Structure 1
Amino acid sequence: MGYADAYKDCEWMDFEVLEDFMKQVLLKSGIPEGDANIISDVLIESDKRGIDSHGIGRLKPIYIDRLDAGIMNPLTKVDVIKETTTTAVLDGNNGLGHVVAKQAMQMAIDKAKEHGMGMVAVRNSTHYGIAGYYTSMATKAGMIGMTGTNARPSIAPTFGVENMLGTNPLTIGLPTDEEFDFNLDCATSVSQRGKLEVYGRAGKDLPPGWVIDENGKTRTDTQQVLIDLTKGKAALAPLGGIGEETAGFKGFGYATVVEVLSAALQDGKFMKDLNGFDEEGNKIPYPLGHFFIAINTDAFMGEKVFRKIAGSIMRGLRDSKKAPGEERIYTAGEKEYLAWQYRKDHGCPVPSVLQKQMSELRDRWNLDFKFSWDS
């Protein structure tokens, strides 16, 4: 189920109510209804999948606070900068990343339907939620889906201590013949900032090896790490860990690939230009870049064949010999599917920190919601 300790002070909330609450908050923030529907759908999908770092937990600190600060545009205008039969470059004009991303992936899917493959690059966008939402759009259409995005600097290069690269997920979705598709959605760091925030809300120290300080030593003090990440006094270790012994250079390399593809194709910003602060320390926009790829399986041996073989591979992996003491092997997308099987009957866990944020947002706009924790 994910970070069990984070659930000890949770209230479990109905998904329909939670999604409606997020939509109403977004509407009050000046976001048009159609766009609010998209954003709340992306956020609730994260909570449904058990990805507690990117759902309701991001509503206030990432989206509402940035709208309040004037560093994100509530009205999302997407411009087509360049387009061919199989490619396009879009400019999000500092609008809501979810809206920009959904349009971009749909454009890639439409191109793939007609020409076999489609790729769309985006510049001047903002945080777009879980990357797996967009690869799922492709798999539902019987296609292979890929997306990546850069982000504010968090990862230190191997043998370095300065946060230079974003957590830069390289996300891939593959359609299968199972009840859930393969969906690999993870950062190119050992862990990502959102997961650190989950540990912070639970009052837990970080595991050693996730974060490196200015002296090259690991740190575990969650709350101060979250502060120091924004000050450049701490950095996330790349996937593989600190140094070369556990192959941290591989995560560093993949993070670099995502950074390049999120900036070079679309003439976008990168690395320190995504810090979110000017030279005087004032907040400024995070002009993120994304890329989206859709590959039509019908352009090869067909969707049915692809789904069957992909499913057979997943089942073969899960049925292989288990390590002593381990009951099962999971393939990417399975834990999220299992989380939904539980949560669809029990609701979404809302810890005390988020309860307070939700109450503040409700009271700010006098929204007609009564929460279980009000008493």
Structure 2
Amino acid sequence: MQSQLTYSAEELCRLAATVLETRGVPSDDAALTARSLVQADQRGIFSHGLLRLPLYSEALRLGGINPAPSMTFSWGGDAVATLDADGALGQVAMQAAVTRVIEAGRKHGIAAVAISNSSHYGAGAFWSDQLADAGFLSFITSSTGPVVAPHGGLTKVLGTNPLTLGAPSADGWPLTADLATSNGAYGKVIAAKNEGRPLPEGWAVDAEGNPTTDPEAAAAGSMIPFGSHKGSAVAVLLEAFASSLTTATYAFETVDIWSNPASRMNNGHLVVGIDTEAFAGRASTEARIADLQQQVRNAGPAGKTVHAPGDPERIRETEAGSTVQLPASTADQLRTLAQELSIPSIL
């Protein structure tokens, strides 16, 4: 395990926002994106944290991400809309979509926004948490670059196609499932490469289809869907949900910014929110979800607590408090980036 270094979350947010502003991102959008990355690191999701800031910076510099987009909503009905994000940071596009879903969901009980021309939006729980705070159940997914071969295949047809499901709870912590549909997120392959460590077995195959734990060989080969043919089926359907409602590209049509930071990826996202108040009522639903969480936690043998979905990340965030522990390799990259941009660094 690589050593980790501890920093102030507030200072890391300021550093990340300054990097983005230096690349032309408006201050509010920069602050939003910085918060999403730092929160991921606080929760131990290093694959979706500040590890990605140098990539965002380079894509902003080369045109793969538009720092100041002119996003356009088109309403397909009272409760549904599409959003052309104009190459925006995914976090900026998602914030606009989540806000609209909550507004429309309050009126109609359910709402959805499908997004095109976007980019990576960070950890999905950052968005499902907002919906849970508003009393909404949520379904969120996205297309990505091509890194996953379907079950039985060798060609990288699919992305890691994340799935985030969230539900509000009287417990105080939402019930949250936030996962890639590959055995590991692609950011974890990058992290393993940066840190000089192998991947877990069963995550990837090389270009010839042989199992590999080498991150370099995995990048040249493909990631494996979780759950064999069942997980592969879920990944394929999420690709359809994320991209087919708009002009967003499928993964196999996309050049990933990991490969070419100048690429406009045209990622598709889908956000669906269900207002619990419109059904049995928010208080009733949140009480029932809290009961479900507690039953899961109590399901272990005597003296052992089972985690409900989302618990491990929340526990890490709570323990972190106002600090962030970064892998040393990420801290090194951020230090280099700050130097290149002549930004004062805390690292």
Task: Quickly name the TM-score band, shorter chain normalised.
Answer: over 0.9
2:89 and 2:208 map into 1 onto residues whose CA distance is 37
Name the stretch that deviates more: 51-60 or 355-364: 355-364
1:35 and 2:12 correspond: no
CA drift of 1:225 comes to: 2.5
Name the stretch that deviates more: 82-91 or 201-210: 201-210
CA drift of 1:320 comes to: 1.1
1:251 and 2:227 correspond: no
Correspondence for 1:313: 292
2:185 and 2:251 map into 1 onto residues whose CA distance is 16
Gaps of 5+ in 1: 229-233, 241-247
- SS of residue in 1 equivalent to 2:144: coil
Correspondence for 2:10: 16
1:91 and 2:78 correspond: no
After superposition, residues 121-160 of structure 1 pair within 5 angstroms as: 121-160=114-153
Correspondence for 2:169: 176
8 Å Cα contact 2:137-2:167 kept in structure 1: yes
Q: Which amino acid aligns with 2:24?
A: G
Q: Deviations over 1:174-229 (max 9, x none)?
A: 01111311111000111111122232333221122110234332111123423x1x
1:159 and 1:214 map into 2 onto residues whose CA distance is 14
1:32 and 1:207 map into 2 onto residues whose CA distance is 39
CA drift of 1:143 comes to: 0.9
Correspondence for 2:251: 271
After superposition, residues 52-131 of structure 1 pair within 5 angstroms as: 52-61=46-55, 63-131=56-124
Correspondence for 2:342: 366
- SS of residue in 1 equivalent to 2:243: coil
Closer, same or farther in 2 for the Cα pair 1:322/1:239, shift >3 Å? farther
TM-score, normalising length from structure 1? Answer: 0.88
8 Å Cα contact 1:76-1:100 kept in structure 2: no
8 Å Cα contact 1:161-1:213 kept in structure 2: no
Closer, same or farther in 2 for the Cα pair 1:362/1:268, shift >3 Å? closer
8 Å Cα contact 1:44-1:56 kept in structure 2: yes
Correspondence for 1:334: 311
Aligned residues: CA RMSD: 1.8
Name the stretch that deviates more: 307-316 or 78-87: 78-87
1:60 and 1:215 map into 2 onto residues whose CA distance is 31
2:338 and 2:85 map into 1 onto residues whose CA distance is 29
Identity %: 26
- SS of residue in 2 equivalent to 1:46: helix
Closer, same or farther in 2 for the Cα pair 1:305/1:216, shift >3 Å? same
Gaps of 5+ in 2: none
Q: Which amino acid aligns with 1:364?
A: E
1:289 and 1:137 map into 2 onto residues whose CA distance is 20
1:235 and 2:212 correspond: no
- SS of residue in 2 equivalent to 1:294: strand
2:295 and 2:64 map into 1 onto residues whose CA distance is 48
Which of the residues 277, 282, 298 maps onto 2:277?
298
8 Å Cα contact 2:142-2:162 kept in structure 1: yes
CA drift of 1:141 comes to: 0.5
8 Å Cα contact 1:318-1:329 kept in structure 2: yes
8 Å Cα contact 2:204-2:222 kept in structure 1: yes
Correspondence for 2:187: 194
TM-score, normalising length from structure 2? Answer: 0.94
Q: Which amino acid aligns with 1:239?
A: F
